[in-house]
Structure 1
């Protein structure tokens, strides 16, 4: 069975197809125009055919794109209807999390929903790494950063550990990837707009590369990991977040060195009011999942 396209990319296609303009789609999705363009290109690469014709005045759907549009619209309408119908029947836990943890968190929450249909969770993804419970109406949040001493109801999940990751096919081809110095011959993929993560790992490896500044940058860790899984280059990733990809063989870690950044992931809740029994169970369950790798 062919691997299904990622849901965020399908949503980006739907919005872009409705306005046929990358700029307007970016405004509606609250991401950059470049991020929209890369997600569409990645989806087209996954499918093996183009969905849009790029024109000077905008975009035009290809025949395949026109055929896809009503089908994808129907899928999202069905998802929306299900969320409203089922969610209205029971109290829903409101959870916020940064986009960088989604690759790990989404499969776990799907498992939680299968095991605990009586405790549904509404997840809100954000580019922000923290939460302000005084202004944001969430029951709990997964946050990324240093230990949150100002939040008593905080549980440590795991620490960030940086290491290069790539597709298994990259290990079999040329140029090789037998030693860290071989990274000089590969495209480096960055999960952020800066080179900080790669620079930190290379310093720990006592290695200098001239190609660190010429790599490709992405908006999120998920985008960088997706491109790495296609054999595009070598990404710097968080080992703690990619266990599913490693177990499935989508990604491999060519080197043993893992570098802790001093940052980590925590599941937190406001201390007032006291977390409900279901919320406490969810928080403890997430910590248990984090320790099962």
Structure 2
């Protein structure tokens, strides 16, 4: 017996509009016009012979019938999405998909990644960069690593390292006129930072007890990796995360002009799905990266 189903494109348009509460946002999500969404929903209402939305001057609102239909439709589509993801995951058991911020990838993960590949050559690694933590219900990722201002709650998280702030610069900047001898001398130098971390300079300057220096002035970059490069090129003084400059401090590429290091409540955390069994490739990566982070913290730079 054949199934009697309404037009599937109309169902997608209805679910998106009901979830978004707006035809325009639903159209943007589906990459179609608002008019197309409106026509799909009108087609669905005609097919069902039921009004699903009240349309008013100030927007749309689900009718009681629409609310009931949306609830059952959402469950059905969630099941389809879940089944699709399971099928994809079974076919991609060797693929580890990681989402990380650009600076973490460039300055911490990539220099160490060869060691993971040597231990697990059967695992293919795919890295994408973003400053937004992963939404595991929407993003095709296995692991997300991101910065949090304070420890997250719940399962599926592991702390990799805490954030410690310190100014760094190129060696040639220390004795340049004006020299860098004490924190007050920063008033005569360009302050470098990431647009994504606007509180780092104010936090460090407050801990140093420095008066009259605006921590929000200076040169700001889209991500911290660019600011670190600018510091190495003697453009100014960067407020750095210790974890990201250990190698530069050890090699002398960058120097810390002041002894003060300011720990924060924030840190970098690894996250994964906590609502299903953890794949072996994820648990292997978790064990490896935790050991790498611990090894780095056990070798402080003097």
Q: Considering only CA atoms, is the larger Rg found in Structure 1 or Structure 2? A: 2
Distance across 2 between alignment mates of 1:160 and 1:213: 20
Deviation of 1:212 (Å): 3.8
What's the counterpart of residue 256 of structure 2? Answer: 253
1:224 Cα shift? 0.5
Q: Taking structure 1 as reference, are residues 137 and 163 closer, same or farther at Cα in structure 2, changes over 3 Å only?
A: same
Structure 2: distance between partners of 1:200 and 1:154? 26
Q: CA deviation at 1:187?
A: 1.0
Query: Which of 267, 280, 290 is 1:277 aligned to?
Result: 280
Q: Which residue of 2 aligns with 1:244?
A: 247
Q: 1:126 aligns with which of 110, 114, 130?
A: 130
CA distance in 2, matches of 1:212, 1:153: 35
SS in 2 for 1:135: coil
Q: What TM-score comes out, normalization by structure 2 length?
A: 0.63
Deviations 1:24-45 (A, max 9, x none): xxxxxxxxxxxxxxxxxxxxxx
Deviation at 1:229, TM superposition (A): 0.7
Map 1:223-242 → 2, pairs under 5 A: 223-242=226-245
Equivalent position SS for 1:208: coil
Q: CA deviation at 1:167?
A: 0.8
Q: Cα gap change, 1:213/1:89 in structure 2, threshold over 3 Å: closer, same or farther? A: closer
Name the CA shift for 1:173/1:164 in 2 (closer, same or farther; >3 Å): same
Where does the alignment leave 5 or more consecutive residues of structure 2 unmatched? 1-90, 297-302
Number of aligned positions between the proteins: 204
Instruction: Please list every run of 5 or more consecutive structure 1 residues that lacks an aligned counterpart in the other structure.
Output: 1-87
Change (3 A) 1:181 1:124: same
* RMSD of aligned Cα (Å): 2.1
Of 110, 114, 121, 1:110 maps to 114
TM-score, with length taken from structure 1: 0.65
Q: Cα 1:213–1:277, aligned 2, differ >3 Å: closer, same or farther?
A: closer
- Which of 155, 158, 161 aligns to 1:158? It is 161
Partner residue in 2 for 1:7: none
Determine which of 201, 205, 210 is the counterpart of 1:202. Answer: 205
